[in-house]
Structure 1
């Protein structure tokens, strides 16, 4: 078992990691280019997540530096009380122990998600996809350099070069203790992990996010938010479905302008009336597609979102604050927005500094999971011989 590293050591490793990412920037980008060139799949969102450029390296560096600047999430007192028998009782945050992160495509996860888990005092096991293997191995090599520089064991960050069969065997019968698993990827990956895991799993679920354009909407705001929501199709916070209130003044004109703006951006516009089945409403596109349908009132918009969405993010566009309040209180998604884009469902954007994942579960944390959430808790009880009578 690895003894918890001091907060000074954890911070120093992260700061050294930031320096090494900058120093080896060209190597990372060149190795990643080889991974991109070797990718033969047709999943455009996976390819988008695979790419590493200067801006992406800058984001990795910023994430490592920001993590180093944040308070230690371990050992924070949550509750205390003095028992009538004189015992002093405390409840404090504690690290999970070992966190396994299984992810597809994104080499930045090897820095940001691993960094959050590391700062939280956890040992990290990384299982990336084969499409980003070389990029990931280079970044793990830098983790090991940073750890060695501060006399910390390289065991703190371990990369698992497993194929699918080996991964399944490890999930079902781990060859080392695993306390928490975080899958980062599509629905198939998440279902695979849920099916085979024997320890708790944080479900970083699908998006399939909705925008409801209410009858009292500012249509210019609606246009901006819908277009922005489709600005990164590979993101889980992208918009896939638009519900338009049939009582919206000049609704037809608004829809025509919206369709033109979307098609000018090469986004395929699907119309709900052209589909006989409702299966399309469940689908997360991760593609240059968007579905538009009309709805007769706010209550039915809420019901439709609660039935079909992935529980991730939803938006209402309206000038009516009371209607917005009703919508936000009753829509069952991890993040709800009034006149703002779903693209803000992100740990950095919501003030967490970074994120391990975006959970669509309700336990133990919902929405972006940041540094302060990647901890469990422990009871500390101090006595001087007390026994229970």
Structure 2
């Protein structure tokens, strides 16, 4: 793929900032069409679909942050000259063509395109039909920004495909695909993995856990839980499951207090058998599948564990591998938890809501990867490149 000079890429991003600012009202009108056609019963999806002035401010800021970041392409990873005189340089290189599949969030159309383009990739945006008007408008602005800077609009494309057409496209893409990033639930991920013929980088379900150790600071724990559960229920970093050490001091009183505070904040509660012995009025978890479920709603599960090892086992069995937190003042316990829990982000005495590119200092993100290859966690600009070896010889032959 031809490499675009950094200053040209930055000029495109500057054009997009200006176009977004100049077309705020038109973007809000396009989004209004999507909102009016949407079934508001799906609260989480509806929240993700909304564009308002604050969301536009966030889009503008995301582009500015990407523009300010160093261009990752051609960065030298290693540079070695062997005893034979052979010089071997490993550099960062674009993936090529990236396809991202996502639902509802028009701001992804901004962040994903900004990152992919700055990293010199083409990007194919497969947004959900519920955000079609918003996405069509935003991609139209991208095309204006590209054309203003004498670049082909093929760098950023919107795919208007239904499920069947998407399946056909994955099997026989119109152009070679180098990477697919599905942002969604298990069904979407399975669908893409089944039909794709290139690398798939999974941005998996949340279903995040928090473990309350017997040496936890209780007031701090309540504050962290409320933030993780209620701050933004539509986020993949929201809290869904709470595990409590059975031997925490004043276990029964604290459990009742936690239940009461959650209900005061409109959070519905489900409990395991042990916990149901105290919180008899709460709904009993009667299916194991619930422990695997990402709620994206004001709902959570409370469960009892025998200790750290039991908590780690349950989290590794049921979580989506996204984020998990421990509340404890015991450093030995927290270190063991953080080392042994198999998630992209592990926390000590902090809310899972920080698993986000901006909140983690990465900047704009394409997704939160729950895969282990080639990167785990927020996919920022530096993660949207692969590598290439440049080998310089002078008639060298291997003997």
Superposition TM-score, scaled by structure 2 size: 0.95
**Which consecutive unaligned segments of at least 5 residues does structure 2 have?**
274-283
- Partners of 1:388 and 1:189 in 2: how far apart? 47
Residue 354 of structure 1 deviates from its aligned partner by 1.5
1:258 to 2:258 alignment: yes
After superposition, the C-alpha distances for 1:245-304 in whole angstroms (9 at most, x for unaligned) are 111112222222222222122110111222233221111111111000111111111111
Aligned mates of 2:54, 2:289 — CA distance in 1: 37
Show the counterpart of 2:116.
Answer: 117
- Aligned residue in 2 for 1:376: 386
Residue 45 of structure 1 deviates from its aligned partner by: 1.4
Partner of 1:233: 233
* CA positional deviation for 1:43: 2.4
Aligned residue for 2:346, secondary structure, equals: strand
> How many angstroms does 1:41 deviate by?
6.4
Offset, 1:150? 1.0
Q: Which of 336, 344, 352 lines up with 1:334 in the alignment?
A: 344
Q: Give the CA RMSD over aligned residues.
A: 1.1
Deviations 1:333-366 (A, max 9, x none): 1100000000000111111111111111111101
Query: Where do 4+ consecutive residues of structure 1 move more than 4 Å?
Result: none
SS of equivalent residue, structure 1 residue 3: coil
Range that drifts further, 254-263 or 152-161: 254-263
Cα distance in structure 1, aligned partners of 2:72 and 2:121 = 11
Q: Which moved more, 1:12-21 or 1:326-335?
A: 12-21
Match runs of 1:77-96 below 5 Å: 77-96=76-95
Partner SS, residue 302 of structure 2:
strand
Q: What pairs up with 1:61-80 in 2 under 5 angstroms?
A: 61-80=60-79
Partner in structure 2 of residue 36 of structure 1: 35
SS of residue in 2 equivalent to 1:192:
helix
SS in 2 for 1:111: helix
Give the superposition deviation at 1:40.
2.6
Aligned runs of 1:38-187 on 2, under 5 Å? 38-40=37-39, 42-187=41-186
TM-score (normalizing by structure 1)? 0.98
Q: How many residues are aligned here? A: 388
Does residue 357 (structure 1) correspond to residue 356 (structure 2)? The answer is no
1:316 and 1:5 map into 2 onto residues whose CA distance is 45
The equivalent of 2:276 in structure 1 is none
